[in-house]
Amino acid sequence: MSTTQYLKEKEAFIFELNQVIFPEKDYYLQVYYLFGQFIEYAEQLNAAEIVAFMQEYYLKKGTKDIFSKTARRFNIPEKYQVNFELLLLSARLPLKLLMFGEVLKFMQQIVVERKKIFLLVDGNAAMQLNVIKQVEWNGLENYLTVYFTEEMGGMTAGLGQILVTHDLEPKSVIFIGKPKMSKKSAIENNIDFAVAEKLFLS
């Protein structure tokens, strides 16, 4: 089904955040840049080399163990893991996080149609709130209702609570996200599910 059809048939649209609203790497790569700058100042190490290593590691292997691998490679004292984790949770990024163009356009159309938009955000709530604050929403922030799965007992329970809290019929709702667990959670709540990547390419 196309975005146009969903706009006609649905009354509420629930979105995931990372990799659905914006490219997740845009957050992490800016945090790694800030960490490199901090370590250069604190330990007189080369920031450019640290950032290049972290970027390459992230693009190949993701976020897991990235501090320990970087610390080992550049002999960074373990005490700086606290600083790294604080940056992940609360960094003020040099650049705003830009939404995917097609997602921005679709959400603006939802607002024009006076329908509801929810964010159901997975992961660490403190970190994800920091991410949300740094997305360039283009005015859409005034129309969003945000929920965090960490505070709601998971994705499936979170979807159920949104339905109940806002008195929504499952058939009037669509959940737009990433596959696997998200799709399973939608099915368990009798909500239609669309993979963001496929929806905005159709």
- In angstroms, rounded to a whole number, what is the distance separating the alpha carbons of residues 40 and 5? 52
Measured in residues, the chain has a length of 202
Q: Where are the domains of the chain?
A: 3-22+99-199, 25-90
- In angstroms, rounded to a whole number, what is the distance separating the alpha carbons of residues 48 and 33? 8
DSSP 8-state symbol, 99: P
pTM, two decimals, is 0.93
Residue-wise pLDDT tens digits, 112-150: 999 999 999 999 999 999 999 999 999 999 999 999 999
Residue-wise pLDDT tens digits, 63-108: 999 999 999 999 999 999 999 999 999 999 999 999 999 999 999 9
Tell me: domain 3-22+99-199, CATH 3.40.47.10, correct? no
- In angstroms, rounded to a whole number, what is the distance separating the alpha carbons of residues 154 and 84? 26
Residue-wise pLDDT tens digits, 186-200: 999 999 999 998 888
Question: Of all helices (H) and strands (E), which one includes residue 158?
Answer: helix 155-165
- In angstroms, rounded to a whole number, what is the distance separating the alpha carbons of residues 174 and 77? 47
